[in-house]
Amino acid sequence: MANKFGLGSLSLETKKPNTTAWINKAKPYFVDQIGDTLQGDLDMNNFTITNLKSPENDNDAVHKKYLREQINSIEVKVDSIFFRQNPRFSNKFNAQKVLQFIKKCRI
């Protein structure tokens, strides 16, 4: 069973033993909404994750807008691209032709 949100915040102190037993049995499959750590995969069941903040750490998730901004900010100066051609493979790759093609495709 995948982790789901919601049950992790239920209190384990109830007056009904059956309810407490059920909560104790189900609790490993749910996470608290604040500060809990998953012990397995999280199945979003085709739902979305929204309102992610911009990443601060290397392992933070990113939202689509942030990713697109980062990709669009990459600039490559075609004139500074350097290809090193290996003489053994000269019949398979022609660096000059690749540079000519890239220069033709400039916007």
Question: Nearest-CA neighbor of 103 among 7, 95, 25, 3?
Answer: 95
Extended strands (E) in the chain? 4-5, 30-31
pLDDT (tens digit per residue) in 43-101: 888 998 889 999 999 999 999 999 988 888 877 666 666 656 566 655 566 667 777 77
Under 8 Å between Cβ of 83 and 98: yes
